[in-house]
Amino acid sequence: MKEFLILIILVMIAFGCSDKRLENNIKSLEKRVAVLERKLNNVPQKRKNPNSTLLNQQNNDKYPVLTFTKTTWEFGTINEGDVIDHVFEFENTGDFPLVVQKATATCGCTVPEWPKKPIKVGEKGVIKVKFNSHNKKNKQTKYVTILANTQPSQTRLKITGMVTPKENFN
């Protein structure tokens, strides 16, 4: 499964970040991965991970719940080459400690940071996202996928805005 996700990421990097067809393919692949993960979560697995009890709950009725204040951020209009960042705030409103396993972006121009320690029930956390507009022009839409021990296991964040090309502001 990890190899499959790595392959998806490499394909996304190889073909760039702003192609609409590529974004649609990514959405389709993410849906397929989510289906496969749900199937795998129904099969008991032995894990060497010390947080395995947090990652695979014994009681399937109760999970951590990743509740974001907002899942979309419109950054407005920026100049090509600007680097901007945003903080997405969330709370664990579920019944077990929340473990964010990783956060991935649709391209290398968008870099997420996530908490590495479990978030207790009722505690808050943040996902920081940095977007580098170097070689990006016009309308931009980027996605960050959060993988956690929630049900479903993936949550998607979206940043969007307009990048003014260098030739228009020099």
CB-based burial, 48-69: b 16+ in 10 Å, e otherwise: eeeeeeebebeeeeebbbbeee
Q: Is the pTM of this model over 0.75?
A: no
Taking only the tens place, the pLDDT of each residue in 57-111 is 445 568 899 999 999 999 999 999 999 999 999 999 999 999 999 999 988 999 9
pLDDT above 70 for 4: no
Q: Number of structural domains, the chain?
A: 1
Q: Tell me if residue 123 falls in helix, strand or coil.
A: coil
pLDDT band, residue 55 (cuts 50/70/90): very low
Q: pLDDT-based confidence at 13, cuts 50/70/90?
A: low
DSSP-derived pairing of the beta strands 83-92 and 66-68: antiparallel
Is the separation of the CB atoms in 125 and 116 below 8 Å? no
Alpha-helix residue ranges (DSSP H) falling in 17-155: 20-41, 52-55
Angle of helix 20-41 relative to helix 2-14, nearest 10 degrees? Answer: 180
* pLDDT at position 53: 44
Residue 145's pLDDT is: 96
Which range of residues forms the domain containing residue 138? 2-169
Domain harbouring 157, CATH code: 2.60.40.10
pLDDT > 90 in the chain, percent: 58
Inter-residue contact 90 to 126 (CB < 8 Å) = yes
Instruction: Choose among 111, 112, 167, 161: nearest CA to 140.
Output: 161
Q: Let me know: does 49 contact 136? Beta carbons within 8 Å.
A: no
Q: Which band of pLDDT confidence, cut at 50, 70 and 90, is reported for residue 5?
A: low
